[in-house]
Amino acid sequence: MKTISRKEEIIQVASRLFYEKGYKTVSMRDIATAMDIKAASLYNHINGKQEILSEIILKVAEEFTVGMENVVSEKISAIEKVEKVIEMHIDITVNYSEALAALNNDWMHLEKSNLSAFVKMREDYEENFRKIIKQGIEMGEIKAHHPEVILFSILSTLRTLYLWYQKRGKLDMNILKRDMVAVLIKGLI
């Protein structure tokens, strides 16, 4: 019976506020008020605002990194890999929709090693995706459009999925996966 720590609670509340108003707009006093305590009390559990941000972002970034590595290592066609990536994005979106706002909009407010770690993960992720697409084109599975256009088009849709997920409520995720995969992939083949 695992109960969530006070620190995790802070991170959870902060995620929601960052989602609603953005990292820079949310003050430590805002976070504290939302928990019915004083701002100074937060520092019994966390080292500072920056730590809250980096924990939110890096945790999800690692999920993406691991998920992508799993897909890459599978012995399936390029198109099937793209399908798996799309499904992974949808799964992560469902589980971390609020954290994704910070990841997408506030990553540039990370500092030093956290910032460079994030940027590296994102670059590696994109590079893996790019390779899948290029491979698919070489094998004749994917139409030979500019690979960057394909990459960008899919990635931008997946990255903003969190916005849409919240707005529409929990439309059945299986329906979403099926239609999203169809719409994104049928343009490629």
Site for a second copy, rule CB under 8 A: 21-22, 24-25, 105, 108-109, 143, 145-146, 148-150, 152-153, 156-157, 159-161, 163-164, 168, 175-176, 179-180, 182-188
E strand spans, 5-157: none
Least separation in angstroms between CB 21 and DNA: 10
Per-residue tokens: 118: 């994030």
- In the complex, minimum distance from the CB of residue 43 to DNA, in angstroms, rounded to a whole number: 4
Interface residues with DNA (CB under 7 A) are 5-6, 26-30, 32, 36-41, 43-45, 47-50
Answer yes or no: are the C-beta atoms of 99 and 60 closer than 8 Å: yes
Max Cα–Cα distance, the chain, nearest Å: 61
Cα 61 from Cα 139, distance rounded (Å): 30
CB-nearer residue toward DNA: 43 or 164: 43
CB nearer to a second copy: pick between 36 and 172:
172
Whole-number minimum distance, CB 51 to DNA, in Å?
8
Which amino acid type is present at position 70? N
Please name the amino acid found at residue 73.
S
The answer to whether residues 103 and 60 touch, using CB atoms and an 8 Å cutoff, is: yes
Shortest distance (Å) from residue 7 CB to a second copy: 26
Nearer to a second copy, 112 or 146 (CB): 146
User: Which of DNA, a second copy, none has residue 45 at its interface (CB below 5 to 8 Å by kind)?
Assistant: DNA
Tokens of 112: 């030093």
Q: How far is CA 103 from the centre of its chain?
A: 6
Rounded Cα–Cα distance for residues 136 and 52 (Å): 39
Q: Which is nearer to DNA, 7 or 131 (CB)?
A: 7
Residue 49 contact partner, candidates DNA, a second copy, none, CB within 5 to 8 A by sort of partner: DNA
**Alpha-carbon gap, residue 33 to 154, rounded angstroms:** 39
Q: How far is the CB of 120 from a second copy (least distance, A)?
A: 17
DSSP H helices, 74-145, are 78-95, 97-105, 112-138
Indicate which of DNA, a second copy, none lies near residue 40 (CB less than 5 to 8 Å, by partner kind).
DNA
